[in-house]
Structure 1
Amino acid sequence: MQTGKLYIGRRIREIRDTAKLTQATFAERLGISTSYLNQIENNQRPVSASVLLLLAERFGVDFSSISTNDSDRLLSMLSEALADPVFSAHSPSFQELKLVAQNAPSFAQALLTCHQAYRRNSEQLASLDDHIGSRATEPTPYEEVRDFFHFVDNYVHELDVAAEQLAGTLDVPNTDAHGALAGYLDTRHGVRIRRTEPGDEILRRFDPSSRTLFLNPYLPAATRSFQMAFQIAAIEHEAQIEAIARRADFRTADAFDVCKAGLRNYFAGAAMLPYQPFLLTAKELRHDIELIATRFGASLEQVAHRLSTLQRPGQKGVPVFFARVDRAGNITKRHSAAKLQFARYGAACPLWNVHQAFESPSRIIRQLAETPEGVRFLCIATELAKGGGGFGTPRPRYAITLGCEISYARDFVYADGLDLTSKTAYDPIGISCRICERANCPQRAVPPLKSRLTVHRDRRGILPYDIS
């Protein structure tokens, strides 16, 4: 998605409402006319640099808080949803979609919810499912929770600050996190750490009556540290976690419980990788995830995921995307603070380097990629294995990917030696085949939904059809 002039009328209106000022008074303080302000708030004119400076000077507005990321995400999701043939009689322009995403985000999300319900019903009807009912029209608990974290930018301020305070108390990362967390649980809460019994494949089990936390001894130290931090969240911050989950107003109790588990996980990751020390280390080491993991005693996945959460107002990190993909191409974990958005339906683009990671275990693979809209990215991917144990123990394998827009590439060690200016250095990628309109992609799995196809009897190209 191309960046351009800044249309943030809804955000300007929120700033004025917070200050409890009329349009006339607000415009006077900015030194602009009331009619100009009215046009800005209705996204009829963009915000100029001089107005942005006045907002910062006279209303203490943080530039980093004026972001189009939410609109970009909504715009990407709307574009994908409206590519469905059910909307074939209605083709809103890009500018119309942009206006909806910026000025009526709640309406846009309601439309996405309706489309999600329609697709779920259609899929169940197609498979002659006998259990179509009211729940079939609702998103699954995991989808609800995924969308919750998606729209809070994968950053939960209350828990992040609390986790950073705990890390400061324990002197993380200057001390061994595993020993510090175990000592804290013992001295502060009387919780002892014990090994699980041989043959017990569970990762963590807490016995409240004996105040004992059982951990699988064959797990990596980073995983065991994470589980101890998770337990601290459950003991010390459960009321806060429950309040955050209740504010999300989930449809089901299952989604509420899944979100609480996700928030405990969030606290655990933030405690092991406290915000400010982690942000400074990431900058110092130029986002070398292997060195960062060694510095904090964390796993590569924990580091990559944490980089995607650096969205604290006034102290934001480089906007990155992060995803975890299994061998079948399923995206099992995702977040994007960058302009690259992940498909909500179907598999990811097969030209994306995350799929190549399975061919080169334990190696970090680099890729320069360009979307159909012309946005360029630096992408890295690597294959990892979960779990631990001896011979014959199942070890799920998956790949993680991390990346940023090319304007931030110099902040990453992985850009060294790459020609960022050569057009031929960039691989063409898309979000998913169903909405990608590249006509000659050799890896296309299915035709784009909103294009006409022509099948020729006497000739055949890369694809068995031409895309109009």
Structure 2
Amino acid sequence: MEEDYIKLIFGLKLKQIRTDRNLSLFGLSKLSGLSKSYLNEIEKGKKYPKPDKISILAEKLDVPYDQMVSLKLDKNLAPIGEILQSKVLKEIPLDLFGIKESTLIDIVSNAPAKMNAFISTIIKIAQNYDFGKESFFLASLRSFQEANHNYFDELEQQVLKFSKAYQIDLSQNVTSQELEEILVEEYGYTINNKDLEKHKELDALRSIFVPKTKTLLLANHIDEAQRTFIYAKEIAFNFLGYKERLYTFSWIKFENFDQVLNNFYASYFAGAMILPREPFTKQLKQLFNKKTFDPGLFIKMIDSFNASPESLYQRMTNILPKDFNVQNLFFLRFVHKKGDEKYYLTKELHLSHQHSPHANENNEHYCRRWVSLRVLQKIIKKKEKHVFDVQISHYPNNQPSYLVFSSATKDPFKENQYRSISIGILINPQLKRKIAFLDDPKIENYHVGVTCERCPITDCKERIVPPKILEKELLNQKIEATVEHLMDNLS
């Protein structure tokens, strides 16, 4: 165990023994002859007393010396010891949210029994939902993105700095050829387009980086946009000086949170380079200023950058909050296999609060009226490369309405599998001033739910299963109302 944790455990034990004896710090100081400030430092885990001082405390508190120095804690403090020994606090990116580890320890130590129950509950929930370390890291990252409105100006400036240093013209499409030249000439990379294909089990991977030889293995079936994005990420790892990083894309596992954060930063850098802020913002303004929605203009905007639809939608989550002051939006990515009735929500981001369309871990059926699912249904039928649609979604019971853009593409790495990317923007008076086409009658309006099991819409033709969870909730409400009525009448 780390030295700091040994200090903390001794301090917690001393504080517990003192409070069990109904002694104040002043009283213990008077009893032991040790200063109050020194004892306070010990209890906060800042100092560890020398053996002679421990002997004095053990004698005056009538506790065996061995018990005082033992790392074993009684049942009230045992959970804290387990947390410290597991080093879970070292894995939580506390500093990312401005929290000091010592502050958290103080909270835990002041109410150990209650905190034990709380922590145990969180662990049980995590186990029930198969919530591993990687999931926890990714959830922490999403919270960090949301806290910063998913805009990071320092990275935007680093992109401009890089483009100037390497004479990359951001007014033109960045190509894989010019980025490959930088990787090879500047960073000593070797590009290998053959060896990855020799291993069938690696079909889902787009790239692997071998650090010892600086070899970048690429899947030969990736397109130009994917290759450019991978190169831009590799440049980011080098240009930004990130040592803790992932070596596969897509990721297999994370060893620590720094890898998660640096992977996000590198992806952000790549997106900001391929979809530069200034020209991208200009095109969005042209789209939003039109009084009627032009789907062709939206498709043209996607095609005008050397980027995948997913990269463009992700970039919108950076630009809309910053340059349009649109703070309330969500991003969703669904995957769906042809012939499967299930749709899986694999990625989501919510700014600046949890919006109605969100992941459900209870094996429920997402609303088939969502444009995210409809574009998936269309692309399977039409067998097109890219299907785009837009709708205004109204949620029941006076919940918010959203303007939702959605694109579906075939997954190039998995047979008969498709994915959709969507961005939804909360409709409010502010948005109506920013987007001129919101009242365009050509945009289809849909009343939607979250899942069939919870949806109150009675005439839904797309419903897959009955609203059993909603019906159960309504029944419970009726039971409660009847019981309350009986109690009032008979009181």
Q: TM-score, normalised by structure 2?
A: 0.55
Is 1:214 the counterpart of 2:233? The answer is: no
User: Using the alignment, how far apart are the partners of 2:174 and 2:135 within structure 1?
Assistant: 41
Quick check: 1:226–1:269 contact (8 Å CA) kept in 2? yes
| Cα displacement (A) at 1:185 | 2.0
Quick check: 2:150–2:318 contact (8 Å CA) kept in 1? yes
| Cα displacement (A) at 1:253 | 5.1
| Cα displacement (A) at 1:363 | 2.3
Correspondent of 2:148 among 140, 149, 152: 152
Letter in 2 for 1:382: S
Quick check: 1:193–1:214 contact (8 Å CA) kept in 2? yes
Residue in structure 2 matched with residue 38 of structure 1 by the alignment? none
Residue in structure 2 matched with residue 364 of structure 1 by the alignment? 388
User: Using the alignment, how far apart are the partners of 2:119 and 2:437 within structure 1?
Assistant: 37
The Cα offsets for residues 346-401 of structure 1, whole Å up to 9 and x where unpaired, read as 3544432211222100322332211233422222323212225xxxx636311111
- For 1:222-371, list aligned pairs within 5 A: 222-239=225-242, 254-286=256-288, 288-310=297-319, 313=322, 316=325, 320-327=329-336, 328-337=342-351, 340-346=355-361, 348-361=366-379, 362-371=386-395
Name which of structure 1's ranges 269-278 and 439-448 shifts more when overlaid on structure 2: 439-448
In structure 2, relative to structure 1, the CA distance for the partners of 1:229 and 1:162 (3 Å cut) is same
| Cα displacement (A) at 1:222 | 0.6
User: Using the alignment, how far apart are the partners of 1:138 and 1:396 within structure 2?
Assistant: 24
In structure 2, relative to structure 1, the CA distance for the partners of 1:225 and 1:447 (3 Å cut) is same
In structure 2, relative to structure 1, the CA distance for the partners of 1:137 and 1:452 (3 Å cut) is farther
**Counterpart secondary structure, 1:363:** strand
| Cα displacement (A) at 1:303 | 0.6
Letter in 1 for 2:265: L
Residue in structure 2 matched with residue 377 of structure 1 by the alignment? 402
Residue in structure 2 matched with residue 5 of structure 1 by the alignment? none
User: Using the alignment, how far apart are the partners of 1:285 and 1:317 within structure 2?
Assistant: 15
Query: Which ranges in structure 1 are unaligned for 5 or more consecutive residues?
Result: 1-105, 130-134, 243-251, 457-468
Quick check: 1:164–1:274 contact (8 Å CA) kept in 2? no
What is the aligned-residue identity percentage? 19
- For 1:20-419, list aligned pairs within 5 A: 118=121, 121=124, 140-167=136-163, 169-197=167-195, 198-200=197-199, 201=203, 202-239=205-242, 254-286=256-288, 288-310=297-319, 313=322, 316=325, 320-327=329-336, 328-337=342-351, 340-346=355-361, 348-361=366-379, 362-372=386-396, 373-387=398-412, 394=415, 396-406=417-427, 408=431, 417-418=440-441
Residue in structure 2 matched with residue 61 of structure 1 by the alignment? none
Letter in 2 for 1:265: S
In structure 2, relative to structure 1, the CA distance for the partners of 1:295 and 1:371 (3 Å cut) is same
Quick check: 2:335–2:418 contact (8 Å CA) kept in 1? yes
The count of residues paired between Structure 1 and Structure 2 equals 322
The Cα offsets for residues 395-425 of structure 1, whole Å up to 9 and x where unpaired, read as 63111112323454796798685257xxxx6
Please, what is the CA RMSD of the aligned residues?
4.2
In structure 2, relative to structure 1, the CA distance for the partners of 1:298 and 1:314 (3 Å cut) is closer
User: Using the alignment, how far apart are the partners of 2:183 and 2:132 within structure 1?
Assistant: 43
**Counterpart secondary structure, 1:297:** coil
Structure number with the bigger relative contact order (C-alpha 8 A, sep ≥ 6) is 1
Letter in 2 for 1:399: S
| Cα displacement (A) at 1:227 | 0.4
In structure 2, relative to structure 1, the CA distance for the partners of 1:241 and 1:426 (3 Å cut) is farther
| Cα displacement (A) at 1:308 | 1.1
Query: Which ranges in structure 2 are unaligned for 5 or more consecutive residues?
Result: 1-102, 109-116, 246-253, 289-294, 337-341, 380-385, 479-491
Report the structure, 1 or 2, having the larger helix content. 2
Letter in 1 for 2:219: N
Correspondent of 1:451 among 473, 485, 489: 473
Q: TM-score, normalised by structure 1?
A: 0.57
| Cα displacement (A) at 1:323 | 0.9
| Cα displacement (A) at 1:447 | 1.8
In structure 2, relative to structure 1, the CA distance for the partners of 1:117 and 1:386 (3 Å cut) is farther
Letter in 2 for 1:331: L
The Cα offsets for residues 417-468 of structure 1, whole Å up to 9 and x where unpaired, read as 5257xxxx6322244567x673637435442499331799xxxxxxxxxxxx
Letter in 1 for 2:185: T
